[in-house]
Chains A and B, each alone.
Chain A
Amino acid sequence: MEVIDLAWWKLGLAALLVLALAGTGYLARLGITRGLLIAAIRTVIQLALIGLVLEALFASSAIYWIALMAVVMLLVAGREVVARQGRRLQGWWAFGIGTGAMFVSSFTVTILALTVVIGPEPWYAPQYAIPLLGMMLGNTMTGVSLALDRLNESVWRQRAVIENRLMLGQTWQQAMEDIRRDAMRSGMMPSINAMAAAGIVSLPGMMTGQILAGSPPAVAVKYQILVMLIITVGTGFGAVMAVSWGGRRLFDERERLRLDRLVKS
């Protein structure tokens, strides 16, 4: 089956619909027009550029270009994690913990999936590596930022309880038990919900794309299952690391709660 290429002017038709929505919003004073237009323009520009970058990357297939691309993706995701936290650790800690957790979990899981499960030749073939890493990072980013946001906010609100538990001789891990559990739950919630709804409520985007591009649904489904499983694993381990490192940093070497290390962003 031949894939139908989309002409640029046909995308213009879709853009006209966005303009219609923006116009409606403006006339009805719904306050969405500005945000909508800026986001739409960003999507077009960012994706058009990434299209060019990917074409070049696929053509060269050199491992150092792929590694550079991966690092850029990771750093942008790290910045996004910091931006999404209401209260965050002071200095480079917020960025470091978020980025570190994402790096360890998504890179490990992606490389594992590439080498052991999918097995393209070479293992870093950009057609597989970059989209897979992108999906991993995007989801891990959401998980890690939700978990860290919840962790910092709960510790801030429940400082009296935590300190009272410390006064009774509990270790910092015991004093934080409930909060850690809450933070993990909010980090994992999107992945768990996505897995529960997959195929019944929603047809996941990657599978839809693959089917549109002409893959047999049976193959697309197998890839989608793989992706959802590894996304959940990556998000889960990322959240575990972020919560344990972030929790550790909120206490000092004498197990004192150090809220002075949190700043409101």
Chain B
Amino acid sequence: MLENLSVGTLSNVSLTVSAGQVVCLSGPSGSGKSRLLRAVADLEPHGGRVSLGDTAQLDVPAHQWRSRVVMVPADSQWWFDEVGGHFPDDAKARLPSALGFPPEVMGWSVSRLSSGERQRLALWRALSLRPESLLLDEPTANLDNDSTEAIETWLLDEIRSRRIAVLWVAHDPGQIHRVADAHYRILANTLERVHGSD
């Protein structure tokens, strides 16, 4: 999937994520994890090649690439007043119960959501686009332990059943152990595979 990618201080990053697999990325803050995800989503100028199956990033218009390779940032943004405005109609109806929201949530105003609630809804917003690949930037950073595990289980279910290739930035070794099929750590300016994490 990534070949000799370079962005910011990172260079020559190569890795492959298969469909339905989760690859975790970890590293000290400021080491360029988020920028790496942004480069994969083609939000930042970068060197090297990224491809999804047979499709190279540059072969399709950027917005089409991003609707197949969807990134969920650590700090999700909401621009309409009501939650429902951010979701396509079918996604409103099929709100997964694992998220822990009542069906009325689509009528709520965004300002009353807590940061954890926004984060969970942002994951559903991304999944409802039916992406082939997901880039998750610390998707459970604002959640407590119980809901973190519930969200992990739900996400893994969706990832396996929809066969989504996932790059997942995480800090918590416990979470990496629970979700990762493979784990890479950013060391100095490059990626290093961590063995024995799975």
Query: Which residues on A are within 8 Å of B, measured CB to CB?
Result: 158, 160-161, 163-172, 178, 252, 254-257
Listed from nearest, the 5 A-B pairs whose CB atoms lie closest are A169-B67, A164-B77, A255-B62, A167-B71, A254-B62
Residues of B within 8 A of A166 (CB): 43, 62-63, 66
- Please tell me if the beta carbons of B64 and A168 are within 8 angstroms of each other in the complex: no
Question: A161 → chain B, closest Cβ, in Å?
Answer: 4
Q: With A166-B63, A255-B62, A255-B63 in contact, is A160–B75 under 8 Å at CB?
A: yes
Residues of A within 8 A of B126 (CB): 168
- Please tell me if the beta carbons of A167 and B63 are within 8 angstroms of each other in the complex: no
B63, B68, B76: the one contacting A164 at CB < 8 Å is B76
Q: With A167-B70, A168-B126 in contact, is A256–B77 under 8 Å at CB?
A: no
- Please tell me if the beta carbons of B43 and A163 are within 8 angstroms of each other in the complex: yes
Nearest residue (CB) in A for B122 is A164
- Please tell me if the beta carbons of A171 and B43 are within 8 angstroms of each other in the complex: no
For the A-B complex, the count of residue pairs with Cβ-Cβ distances under 8 Å equals 55
- Please tell me if the beta carbons of A170 and B75 are within 8 angstroms of each other in the complex: no
Residues of B within 8 A of A252 (CB): 45
Interface membership of chain B positions 22-46, coded 1 if the CB is closer than 8 angstroms to chain A and 0 otherwise: 0000000000000000000111110
Q: A163-B43, A256-B42, A256-B44 are in contact. List 12 more A-B contacts (CB 8 A).
A: A160-B75, A161-B77, A165-B77, A165-B79, A166-B63, A166-B66, A167-B71, A169-B63, A169-B68, A172-B63, A254-B58, A257-B43
A167, A178, A257: the one contacting B66 at CB < 8 Å is A167
**A221 to B33 alpha-carbon distance, docked (Å):** 66
**A171 to B62 alpha-carbon distance, docked (Å):** 8
Pairs A–B under 8 Å by Cβ, sample size 11: A160-B77, A163-B73, A166-B66, A168-B66, A168-B126, A169-B64, A169-B68, A169-B129, A254-B58, A255-B61, A255-B63
